[in-house]
Each structure stands twice: as structure tokens, then as C-alpha cells.
Amino acid sequence: MKVRVHVSLKPGVLDPQGRAIHHSLEGLGFSGVRDVRAGRLIELDVDDATSDEALDEMCRKLLANMVIENYRIEKVPAAEASA
């Protein structure tokens, strides 16, 4: 089973990486960009028997820093994963 974990900074947390990307986009001449936030995407390939609780625990213990980050778990349908 393929699982995507989206980790993003909580609102209000300073994001220097996002600001650098924003600045660079403007430097390249792209106008109309109002805000940029940088996060992480972690793709896991786990056994089908893996429970939601186990996935949740992986995120809380290792993948996300719960003090400053939020996470979202997305299970990828088999059809999309093999495409």
C-alpha cells in the first residue's frame, strides 16, 4: 500500500525556505505569487495490514515535528500507485 504523508509548517511559523523561494520566483519575473510555504512529502510503501494508528504514530514520532508542523496522511489508490 502506498501512503503519502504531507508535512507542512503550522500557520504563523516563520518559513525562511518558503520566503527564499518566493523571492527567487519574483527575481525570475513571475508576478502574482502572493505566498510560498515549503514542506515535505514522504512517500511510504507499507504492508496492506498496516493500521491507521501505526501510520499516525509514525508521523507523530518521527516524520513530523508536532510543535511546529502539521501532517496529513493520504492513501494512494492502487490504480494510481501503479500508473
Task: Note the residues at the interface with a copy of itself (CB under 8 A).
Answer: 6-8, 18, 21, 24-25, 28, 30, 32-47, 49-50, 54, 57-58, 61-63
For a copy of itself, the closer of residues 13 and 33 by Cβ is 33
CA geometry: angle at 48 spanning 2 and 67, to 5°? 60
Give the rounded distance of the alpha carbon of 15 from its chain centre. 14
Q: Least CB distance from residue 10 to a copy of itself, whole Å?
A: 13
Which residue's C-alpha cell is 500507485? 81
C-alpha cell at 32: 502574482
For a copy of itself, the closer of residues 39 and 73 by Cβ is 39
